[in-house]
Structure 1
């Protein structure tokens, strides 16, 4: 990846981009309004022939003024085109309306990040997630996830699951090629990975390690699937080094989009404790999206901005990592990376780690 090593804009293009950025929060909300109020769909349904302002207004309960200011903003944002007083969607307008990934990212930004980002500078100075007060009274976002209003919680879980779920079908054969008898999952979330494991291998037993407040939904899903005899739960706070991990040894330890929730010092601490519960033949599997290993510049951009969600909202000290910084943590924990695969899911990397000799 060589997206960030040279200037790609002329001076005029750079100034235009700077002016667009100055109004970016306004453009974001205008785009949401065009989508949520049905205006983009009406224009999309009109197809290539387009539709006039008056005909859009006739299909809505909004005033002519409200529709006019939004569609005119949509022209500047480049969501819409106008010819012969008829509006049509641009390609970007199409993706705003129809692309699932774009919708998930926008909803996450609005529901989880938008108000809290006003406190970003405070978070950077204090090392605390200063914007989290906009969602609830927690020190980090994780104890509060099960307490968020349903529509806000949905935006968080949709964002969290979309990326990792795509990777699961590719990772299961890799993990189970070594036929692990038991597997420890850190950050079990809603139990999706544990259920995938029990469905893939009829003999494996899974232990989910997570915060007490995070176990409820996973327990419900495991029980509903009828595999409660093969999935157990171990509640702890991984940030408390004095609280133990399970006493048994595991053939596999799995973490998907988990360690990016922690600072480098915390990652090293967690990995050391993971190493301590590995069996002699065991491996640690870490699934992470590293921004420097993305195929598309837009993917790297999304990950870099997601880092600021961690800064302002989640915990104040973690991020979506550069692979060099992350692997340095692996090595500092007394582990070595024995295999790397950068072609998992949506530009994820799967690291397979073992204890150093």
Structure 2
């Protein structure tokens, strides 16, 4: 009789039901349970009345959140755990509910993974309307601001902009990084470059940050439009190149080289694969996410980024790993 490795079987079970945990978190965020608890609703009765839900079912959800260490429980009282208090209470500086909501929104795309693998095409894009839904766009840009907000301090500390006077934040979305870089470097002026319907929202984030005098927007398409000639001391391409294929990425980086002054730097911020293309795990999974959700996107390795930079004229290329699954790959324009 063969011995059963129960830990291996349990690993497969945990892997198979992993989406249970995601769905519990998604429901809690949609109900805004963590904010309710922060505001004084601590019992199953109080919470179920606040969200107009079944009390027994609400208790099950709350107990599951305790098991996930997102809540604590003493007798009949529920409280937020430290992580929930910091990141899941609406109105807190690093609130991540908007980003979690975005991941909830794209969950259905992952149910199409088999057909996507069979065809090699993003099935989720097949029936999308030509016009971008304003509500969906605001959800996405707000989500990108949420996840960027927890990375701004470490990113700004790792890039040297003390001598830079101009920064281009390419496809910068909410402009979170441009705003943070401008605040950290008083001499810096920044331009957030993105599509016309995006920069309308970007201006709201710039205004809220009170940096309208030093951070502006420019509408454009990074594949179709020029970024200028010898115009910038630094260009940030954060979470952009994973959307495109290698040919288009070389095209974007060539335009970055043209737009930089001599001595300027391009700063790529991405989830970088190792040379086996299997690790880190998040980058490998994210590559599938790009297959499912974009026309030609993927995660790429350091050697690929280096080759594109070298082919487009960049020198002194270096990599800096951040603490949050992502890395910076920086190249300089040296004439």
Q: Using a 3 Å threshold, how does the CA distance of structure 1 residues 59 and 66 change in structure 2: closer, same or farther?
A: same
| Whole-Å separation in 2 of the counterparts to 1:26 and 1:34 | 12
Verify the 8 A CA contact 1:129 1:312 in the aligned structure 2. Answer: yes
State the TM-score, normalized to the length of structure 1: 0.68
Work out which of the residue numbers 12, 18, 36 in structure 2 matches 1:24. 18
SS at 1:175's partner residue? coil
CA distance, structure 2, for counterparts of residue 239 and residue 95 of structure 1: 43
- Quote the offset at 1:262 in angstroms: 2.3
Q: Does 1:208 align with 2:196?
A: no
The alpha-carbon deviation at position 215 of structure 1 amounts to: 1.5
| 2: CA distance, partners of 1:95 / 1:300 | 27
- The alpha-carbon distance between structure 1 residues 35 and 234, as it changes in their structure 2 partners (threshold 3 A), is closer
* Residue 264 of structure 2 is aligned to residue 282 of structure 1: yes
Distance 1:79 1:204 in 2: 40
Whether 2:48 is the aligned partner of 1:66: answer no
* Larger helix percent: 1
User: Which residue of the partner structure matches residue 219 of structure 1?
Assistant: 203
CA deviations 1:138-158 (Å, max 9, x no partner) are 5xxxx8485417556533442
| Aligned ranges 1:32-47 → 2 under 5 Å | 32-33=26-27
Q: Secondary structure at the match of 2:48?
A: coil
* Residues 307 and 203 of structure 1: CA distance in aligned 2, closer, same or farther (over 3 Å): same
Going from structure 1 to structure 2, the CA distance change for 1:146 and 1:335 (only over 3 Å counts) comes to: farther
For the aligned residue pairs, the C-alpha RMSD in angstroms reads: 4.4
**Distance in 2 between residues matched to 1:316 and 1:227, nearest whole Å:** 34
Using the alignment, how far apart are the partners of 1:253 and 1:153 within structure 2? 20
What is residue 289 of structure 2 aligned with on the other side?
A: 309
How far apart are 1:270 and its partner, in Å?
Answer: 0.7
User: How much does 1:187 deviate?
Assistant: 1.6
Counterpart residue number, 1:350: 328
Which runs of 5 or more structure 1 residues have no equivalent in the other structure? 1-9, 46-50, 294-298
* Higher RCO, Cα 8 Å, sep 6+: 1
Q: Which residue is 1:260 aligned to?
A: 242
Q: TM-score, normalised by structure 2?
A: 0.72
Kept in 1, the 8 Å contact 2:229–2:258? The answer is no
Shift in Å at residue 353 of structure 1?
0.7
Moved more, 346-355 or 269-278: 346-355
The gaps in structure 2 that reach 5 residues or longer are 88-94
Corresponding residue for residue 338 of structure 1: 317
Q: CA deviation at 1:238?
A: 1.8
Match of 1:249 among 231, 239, 252: 231
1:121 paired residue number: 114
SS of the residue 2:112 aligns to: helix
Q: Which residue of 2 aligns with 1:148?
A: 136
Q: Secondary structure at the match of 1:283?
A: strand
1:255/1:287 contact within 8 Å kept: yes
Residues in 1 aligned to 2:132 and 2:245: alpha-carbon distance in whole angstroms: 19
Report the equivalent of 1:327.
306
Selected match of 2:179 from 176, 180, 195: 195
